[in-house]
Amino acid sequence: PMTNVDTGAGLERWPGPLLWESGLDWQGRPRRWTKPPTNYDSDLFQSIIARIQELSGIEYEGADEAARRAMRIVAEHTRAATFLIADGVTPSNEGRGYVLRRLIRRGTSFGQRLKQGRQFLEATSQAVIDHMAGHHPNLGEQARFVLQTLRSEESRFFDTLWQGRSQLEEFKKASAATKQIRGADVFQLWDTHGFPPELTQELLAEDGFTVADPETFESLMEEQRRRSRAAARFEGDVARVQTYAELGLQPTEFLGYETTRAFASVAALLVEGRPVREVSAPAGGVEVVLAQTPFYAEGGGQVGDRGELVWGGGRFAVEDTQAVGEGGVIAHVGRLESGSLAVGDAVEARVDESLRADTMRNHTATHILHAALRKVLGTHVRQAGSLVAPDRLRFDFTHMEALTPEQIREVEALANRVVRDNVPVHVDHQRYEEAIAGGALAFFGEKYADVVRVVGVCYPEDADPEPGQGCFSRELCGGTHVHASGDVGAIVITSESSIGAGLRRLEAVTGRAAIERVRTQEERLQRLSARLRAPPESLAQRVDAILEELERLRREVEEMRRRSLRESLGEQVAAEARDFSGVKVVVYGVESAPNVDALRVLGDDLRKRLGSAFVLLGAVIAGKPAFVGMATPDVASRCPSGEIVRAVAQAAGGSGGGRPEAAQGGGTDPSRLEAALAAGRRLIEEKLSAPA
């Protein structure tokens, strides 16, 4: 055999020695290299670094090593983030999304070393796309989504970056003597400000600091991960998978693509997670493994089938079907309702055909909606999760903005056009590479075999509304589907919402559920029509008219309340005025003020009645103390309303302020209303007593 040496030099590292050998720079100009160039000196990075030079105003060749290193980090991290986002990864706190988030945040932090206040990543990413889209067309197709994602994520971190760095400086000051900060502090920076621990350690190392107890940080992180895992899945999963592994079962043969009924033998029984040889009714928490089954196990977003296992004298209700571990074993989970069942017994497995049909409609509808979203919003749209159940479907996808009502209508209309066209749904088996080359969508991070199952919603050539476009939808999928799009019946989008940065969620119903939803809405419409005495087509105008009338009446009632308060209390409160240094001072707690507006009207009326005056009113409104201060112009300079009300509101646990002649505030503790007003009176008299 021929000998060889694995240098570890990937293709990108070869431009360095080639530049050295040729005596040229990355633009092909003669250059005398004083030290061996690296891949950062090649056109792979220099075109990106050139953009960073423009943004920072720093020349790479003339900069010190710290600035050059920062430029390289921004360039490399931005390039990696650009490709990750184009491949469908979005920033998150777990898995590949966390890797992306760390890249973006470290790149943002090093960008600030080049020029504070400047966000680098979006503009640098555009340079990556310009340079590489010719060889990687996906970058050009996903450019808008890539740039929006980077802009959003960098902006979000940018807002907390300075708070985090300020907090880090405080930790360093407190630990100046030991040059070590606590692991708990590193965790706080991550938990509160989103500082990745690697970034914190890097910033510490620059000033000679270390982490005193990294094990504490790891312990706190593990506890947080444990809580996340516990919230995401029940604790017994690992033990359950181990139990099945110890049984040494053969993979269950799945027959559900061809049939919903099959005879099979019982391969294993578990009760409450423990293997048994036999079980008798009634019994819950039972898991039955068959040698073969028509039941679809939960996976790919599709819920597990429900149905029953029957045999002479016995029935087992299948409430869920789950794949256990990665060994291909399928467990039928449910309760034994009659008879007894033992390992080796023969049963007939019957899938609930009605529920399966509804699930198939929703799964095919999910594919159709995915394709419709990509056509309406752009090819940056990628599936980020789904739920396919008999009664509804949920589809999560990458997109930076809320869909407009017009976009939702357009997506729904396009999806239903495909349903009406009754397009055939084909299932093919191809090699993975062939399927992807043929335009089938695969999902980043999923594991695929060499030969994959491809589900396509494909028009016949002579009926394609977009000739030459190929299939309307084509995805790698192991789920169950209808035979033609018309079987879906109808697709009704019920909601669109945000589930995180750069992630949206559509929810929809199909078939029977869609008909039921339309029927229910029609019944509601008819009831409203009867109640409002208007035909359905005029309901919007009728509601607008009612709302306008309500608003008019509300204003009239408010005016009546203010007038009533002014008329009923005006004389009474004015009589309470005390003369202090030539100024009429009123401090009064109103028992039944409807709102702060009414207090202001009463205060203004008193100010006008009394001449040279200061009026301080308080009341409990909606369970909280409210205050209004009013001063005539000649008094406001000596006793500013804003200052008085601020102090009074603080005495009631709140805050306030305003102009010298008028101010208002609020508190949190209604029991402190009287004490706050008394404190206000003392402050007013103190101000008026002071020499002019």
For residue 442, the model assigns a pLDDT of 84
Buried b (16+ CB within 10 A) or exposed e, 116-126: eeebbbbbbbb
Which of 74-78, 128-132, 565-569, 599-603 is predicted with the least confidence, judged by mean pLDDT?
565-569
The C-alpha torsion from 513 through 518 and 524 to 527, rounded to 10°, is -130
pLDDT band (50, 70, 90) for residue 402: very high
Averaged pLDDT score across all residues of the chain: 88
How far is the C-alpha of 303 from the C-alpha of 393, rounded, in Å?
A: 10
- What is the DSSP secondary structure assignment for residue 148, as one 8-state letter? H
For residue 213, the model assigns a pLDDT of 86
Q: What is the mean pLDDT of residues 667-679?
A: 92
Read off the pLDDT of residues 128-163 as tens digits, 9 standing for 90 and up: 999 999 889 889 988 988 998 999 888 888 777 777
Kindly tell me if the per-residue pLDDT of 36 is higher than 70: yes
For residue 235, the model assigns a pLDDT of 38
For residue 234, the model assigns a pLDDT of 38
Kindly tell me if the per-residue pLDDT of 565 is higher than 80: no
Q: Which two tokens stand for residue 255?
A: 């027959």
Q: Which two tokens stand for residue 355?
A: 């529920």
Read off the pLDDT of residues 170-216 as tens digits, 9 standing for 90 and up: 888 888 888 888 888 888 888 877 777 877 888 788 888 888 888 88
pLDDT band (50, 70, 90) for residue 76: very high
Measured over the CA atoms of residue 181, residue 184, residue 186 and residue 192, the dihedral's sign is: negative
For residue 269, the model assigns a pLDDT of 95
For residue 231, the model assigns a pLDDT of 44
The C-alpha torsion from 378 through 381 and 386 to 390, rounded to 10°, is 10
Kindly tell me if the per-residue pLDDT of 526 is higher than 50: yes
Amino acid making up residue 431: R
End-to-end CA distance of the chain: 106
For residue 575, the model assigns a pLDDT of 79
For residue 425, the model assigns a pLDDT of 96
Phi and psi at residue 265, in whole multiples of 5°?
Answer: -105, 150
How far is the C-alpha of 386 from the C-alpha of 483, rounded, in Å?
A: 21
Phi and psi at residue 305, in whole multiples of 5°?
Answer: -65, 155
Q: Which two tokens stand for residue 562?
A: 């203010």
Kindly tell me if the per-residue pLDDT of 13 is higher than 80: no
CB 589 within 8 A of CB 677: yes
CB 337 within 8 A of CB 282: yes
Read off the pLDDT of residues 58-75 as tens digits, 9 standing for 90 and up: 998 888 988 999 999 999
Better pLDDT: 547 or 502 = 547
Which of 37-46, 258-267, 332-341, 451-460 is predicted with the least confidence, judged by mean pLDDT?
37-46
Kindly tell me if the per-residue pLDDT of 233 is higher than 50: no
Residue written as token pair 């992306």: 100
Pick the closest to residue 347 from 304, 315, 306 (CA basis).
315
How far is the C-alpha of 132 from the C-alpha of 148, rounded, in Å?
A: 18
Pick the closest to residue 201 from 214, 220, 218 (CA basis).
214
Q: What is the mean pLDDT of residues 429-437?
A: 90
For residue 189, the model assigns a pLDDT of 84
pLDDT band (50, 70, 90) for residue 555: confident
pLDDT band (50, 70, 90) for residue 692: low
Q: For residue 466, give the 3-state DSSP assignment.
A: coil
Kindly tell me if the per-residue pLDDT of 87 is higher than 90: no
Better pLDDT: 608 or 93 = 608
Measured over the CA atoms of residue 294, residue 295, residue 299 and residue 302, the dihedral's sign is: positive
pTM as predicted: 0.68
How far is the C-alpha of 203 from the C-alpha of 232, rounded, in Å?
A: 33
pLDDT band (50, 70, 90) for residue 229: low
How far is the C-alpha of 15 from the C-alpha of 39, rounded, in Å?
A: 6
Better pLDDT: 501 or 58 = 58
Secondary element (H or E) of residue 181? strand 180-181
The strands making up 662-666's β-sheet, listed across from edge to edge, are: 578-580, 583-589, 613-621, 624-631, 662-666, 655-658
pLDDT band (50, 70, 90) for residue 18: confident
Read off the pLDDT of residues 369-385 as tens digits, 9 standing for 90 and up: 999 999 999 888 888 88
Kindly tell me if the per-residue pLDDT of 264 is higher than 90: yes
The strands making up 393-398's β-sheet, listed across from edge to edge, are: 383-388, 393-398, 503-510, 491-500
Amino acid making up residue 652: A
How far is the C-alpha of 395 from the C-alpha of 264, rounded, in Å?
A: 35
Q: For residue 678, give the 3-state DSSP assignment.
A: helix
Q: What is the mean pLDDT of residues 290-295?
A: 97
Kindly tell me if the per-residue pLDDT of 232 is higher than 70: no
Q: What is the mean pLDDT of residues 263-274?
A: 94
